[in-house]
Amino acid sequence: RPQRGPRRWCPATDTRPAARECHHTGAPARPLDDARDDDAVRAVVLTGHGRFFSAGLDLRGGIDFQALSSTGTPTDPFLRLSSCLLTFLCFPKPAVAMLRGHAIAGGLILLLACDYRLGLDGEYRIGLNEVAIGASFPKAAFEIVRLRLTHQQASELLLGAALYPAAQATRLGAVDELLPAASFDETVFRRAARLGSFPRSAYAHTKAALVAETIARIESETPEEAQRTAAVWLSAESVTARATQAQKLSS
């Protein structure tokens, strides 16, 4: 364990999406729980491996659409995604995102759930393309978008449903800053160490106050709201759009 600076924590072990860990197992909540309780950890850095930061939920087999259809309510993957996002939002220590690969759909929301986001000035894409593939976010995701982005940025990303080059990440509010490759790693961990050097109680109290209204709105979601989200996924047009997307991904 490093004695100085933040612990490097990478939830993804290959190029599959980091959010898939939330999807299948409830991680990365467990490592965050450990980091929260470990006095030696002053901050965490979230990143991915390979070409992806995260591409969100696994639509090619990770969601039980039959169960979704029979119950009309969000199934485990949606609930786990919401829980994962809340874990980051409520984490009392600095959570810094290290973006150096594609951040798409739920993966971009995971990025936005972090306090401070630094991106590599490189060749990758970001975007919220749910509308284009007949999907809809749980309320937790929408509220994080509302917290981090301006209305104009949110409208462009959500309703335009495009994938943008990394060069647009700052303009769209996805990252606070884009950094050159030569100094990227060093700068990210230096910034995380700076945040981690602040008095813990002051950081935790201030962060909690900043996100309190967002968390209250997330926790106020009614069963009827959740059912409306599920219904979006089940419409005929949505099913066709996802099938087309899956075919593109497999070709």
Question: DSSP label at 6?
Answer: P
Superfamily of segment(s) 7-200+217-250: 2-enoyl-CoA Hydratase; Chain A, domain 1 (3.90.226.10)
The winner for highest mean pLDDT among 28-32, 143-147, 218-222, 232-236 is 143-147
Is residue 221 exposed (0-12), middle (13-18) or buried (19+ Cβ within 10 Å)? middle
Give the residue-averaged pLDDT of 89-102.
Answer: 96
Residue 245 vs residue 36, higher pLDDT: 36
What's the pLDDT score for residue 90? 93
Percent of the chain with pLDDT over 90: 56
Please give the full DSSP string across 93-125, using - where no structure is assigned: S-EEEEE-SEEETHHHHHHHTSSEEEEESSS-E
- Note the pLDDT tens digit of each residue in 135-146: 888 899 999 999
What's the pLDDT score for residue 71? 56
- Note the pLDDT tens digit of each residue in 204-214: 999 999 999 99
Residue 229 vs residue 2, higher pLDDT: 229
Q: Which position among 21, 130, 143, 156 bears the catalytic label?
A: 130
Give the residue-averaged pLDDT of 215-224.
Answer: 92
Place of tokens 């810094």: 96
177 catalytic? Reply is no
Q: For residue 193, what pLDDT band results from cuts at 50, 70 and 90?
A: very high
**Which tokens in the block code for residue 58?**
């696994």
**pLDDT of 55 above 90:** no
Helix (H) or strand (E) holding 146: helix 139-148
What is the average pLDDT value for the chain, to the nearest integer?
A: 83
What's the pLDDT score for residue 191? 97
What's the pLDDT score for residue 60? 58
Q: Which residues of 7-17 are buried (b: 16+ CB within 10 A; e: fewer)?
A: bebebbeeebb
- Note the pLDDT tens digit of each residue in 13-32: 222 333 334 443 444 567 78
Residue 11 vs residue 120, higher pLDDT: 120
Q: How far is CA 23 from the centre of its chain?
A: 12
